[in-house]
Amino acid sequence: MMRSYALRCVSLRGMSPPKATEDGHDLPDADAPAGRRQRARRRDGSRTTLRVPTALALTARRYADDLGTTPNDALIRLAERGAEIYEGEREVEALAAERRAAVLFGDAFDPQAELPSPEWVEWAIMSAREE
């Protein structure tokens, strides 16, 4: 999905196109020749060497072509999106565990309580039918 940031900014008359998106990623240079990749911005952090699975490398290459950036930059962007999803899943799981605990072990929970007798269950069911 290629976004045309330069076209969006032309209508603002006299303003130059933005240099980066809200998340800090560089935008493709509108003046760069077609087909030429924009150099990825420098990032802080540790440097590493990875062996990227073929399917992921192909996805990163397609994404880089769509964005007009390098495959390494596209791979980092994919990793950032994956990290956001992962953190979101962790937050949801923590909230779900908190809510389960509130239901299962709330103030009304009595581990010494006995289950109702079969007669009481039958009576409750029958009385509900009569209403």
pLDDT tens-place string over residues 10-67: 333 343 444 455 555 554 444 444 555 666 677 788 888 889 999 999 999 999 999 9
Contacts of 39 (CB under 8 A, 6+ apart): 70
pLDDT of residue 86: 97
pLDDT of residue 87: 97
- Please report, as a single letter, which amino acid is at residue 105: F
pTM value? Answer: 0.50
Using 50, 70 and 90 to split pLDDT, how confident is the model at 7? very low
Give me the phi and psi of 26, to 5 degrees please.
Answer: -70, 145
pLDDT one-digit tens code per residue, 103-129 = 776 666 667 778 889 999 999 999 988
Q: Is the pLDDT reported for residue 71 higher than 90?
A: yes
Residues 94, 100, 104: CA angle, nearest 5 degrees: 150
Q: Is the pLDDT reported for residue 84 higher than 50?
A: yes
pLDDT of residue 128: 84
Q: Is the pLDDT reported for residue 9 higher than 70?
A: no
Residue of higher predicted confidence among 32 and 72: 72
